[in-house]
């Protein structure tokens, strides 16, 4: 399976979100091998998108979740409310929330636990800054982010766990690491996850790559077995690029079937 997540950030209003979701539904209709597609609009679009896409071939994702289950937290949206809105997946710890909001590793850990309690699927985002990379600190940064976010997290043994590797410097910049480097980093992340959850199998970890994914590089990323999918920002709001990325995933899935 391949997973494609669209992170629409604060870019689309309700009408635009509905139009793009509709176009995506039409695009995949009747196709043989459809990847797991998760659309993450802003909160205000959940209501309209729930009616359209839930129980079809698309899933609804949230860009964040409160670390608290309920209470006096102005502006927060808790996991239970997301569930009620038709959400199945939640991005947690996106670098924009780590930088512009107050997402510390400890808070991220609580968010993951909140999501899991409501049977939502967390997608934990991790990644190093350019400076950390240049100073040879990538490995330690990823270890720290994963270990502290996953402390106290209990996973069901038969479930998958999603991580998005998003180098901060690659987000929205047009720059990406080489595919080989991404593959190596995914292997490293898988090893760290196995240390944290020793009873899991390697393939229970779904590791996505995010950061300047577009129609030009999607295929070369998705054809790698270590890369279980992609998390797409800017290119996910441009219909032509978005459908072309979905197309790349479908081609890879078609080829996988031929090999089997």
Show which residues are catalytic.
94, 166
Query: Which tokens in the block code for residue 231?
Result: 């998390």
Nearer Cβ to ligand PGA (10/260): 10
Nearer Cβ to ligand PGA (58/233): 233
By CB atoms closer than 10 A (0-12, 13-18, 19+), residue 205 is buried
Shortest Å distance, C-beta 194 to ligand PGA: 25
Radius of gyration of the chain measured on its C-alpha atoms: 17
Residue 92 is a binding residue for ligand PGA (CB under 6 A):
no
Nearer Cβ to ligand PGA (124/231): 231
Determine which residue in the list 34, 108, 142, 171 makes contact with ligand PGA, applying CB under 6 A: 171
Residue 233 is a binding residue for ligand PGA (CB under 6 A):
yes
Residues 202-221 that bind ligand PGA (CB under 6 A): 210-213
Burial string for 63-101 (b: 16+ CB within 10 Å, else e) reads: bbbbbeeeeeeeeebbbbbbbebbbebbbbbbbbbbeee
Residue 182 is a binding residue for ligand PGA (CB under 6 A):
no
Shortest Å distance, C-beta 76 to ligand PGA: 21
Shortest Å distance, C-beta 173 to ligand PGA: 7
Would you say 126 and 172 are in contact if contact means Cβ atoms under 8 Å apart?
A: no
Residue 229 is a binding residue for ligand PGA (CB under 6 A):
no
Determine which residue in the list 2, 4, 6, 7 makes contact with ligand PGA, applying CB under 6 A: 7
Would you say 116 and 92 are in contact if contact means Cβ atoms under 8 Å apart?
A: no
Nearer Cβ to ligand PGA (3/155): 3
Q: Cα 102 to the chain's mean position, in Å? A: 19
Would you say 57 and 28 are in contact if contact means Cβ atoms under 8 Å apart?
A: yes
Nearer Cβ to ligand PGA (97/155): 97
Would you say 177 and 223 are in contact if contact means Cβ atoms under 8 Å apart?
A: no
Residue 172 is a binding residue for ligand PGA (CB under 6 A):
yes
Would you say 189 and 196 are in contact if contact means Cβ atoms under 8 Å apart?
A: no
Shortest Å distance, C-beta 96 to ligand PGA: 7
Stretch that binds ligand PGA, among 14-22, 77-85, 165-173, 185-193 (CB under 6 A): 165-173
Would you say 249 and 2 are in contact if contact means Cβ atoms under 8 Å apart?
A: yes
Q: How far apart are CA 143 and CA 139, in angstroms?
A: 6
Residue 101 is a binding residue for ligand PGA (CB under 6 A):
no
Task: Please give the residue ranges that form the binding site for ligand PGA (CB under 6 A).
Answer: 7, 166, 171-172, 210-213, 231-235
């Amino acid at each position: 399976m391949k997973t494609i997540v669209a992170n629409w950030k604060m870019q689309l209003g309700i009408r635009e979100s509905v139009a793009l979701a509709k176009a995506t539904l039409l695009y995949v209709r009747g196709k043989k091998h459809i990847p797991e597609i998760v659309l993450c609009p802003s909160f205000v679009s959940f209501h309209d998108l729930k009616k359209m896409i839930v129980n079809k071939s698309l899933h609804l994702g949230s860009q964040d979740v409160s670390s608290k289950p309920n209470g006096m937290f102005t502006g927060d949206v808790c996991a239970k409310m997301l569930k009620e809105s038709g959400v199945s997946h939640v991005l947690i710890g996106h670098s924009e929330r780590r930088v512009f909001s107050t997402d510390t590793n400890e808070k991220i850990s609580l968010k993951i636990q909140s999501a899991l309690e409501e049977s939502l699927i967390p997608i934990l985002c991790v990644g190093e800054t350019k400076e950390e990379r240049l100073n040879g600190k990538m490995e330690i940064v990823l270890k720290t982010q994963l270990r502290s976010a996953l402390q106290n997290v209990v996973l069901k043994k038969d479930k998958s766990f999603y991580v998005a590797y998003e180098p901060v410097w690659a987000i929205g910049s047009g720059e990406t690491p080489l595919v080989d480097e991404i593959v190596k980093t995914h292997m490293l992340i898988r090893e760290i996850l196995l240390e944290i959850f020793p009873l899991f199998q390697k393939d229970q970890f779904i590791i996505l790559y995010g950061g300047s994914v577009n129609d030009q590089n999607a295929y070369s990323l998705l054809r790698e077995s270590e890369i279980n999918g992609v998390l797409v920002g800017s290119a996910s709001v441009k219909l032509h690029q978005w459908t072309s990325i979905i197309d790349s995933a479908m081609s890879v899935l078609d080829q996988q079937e031929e090999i089997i």
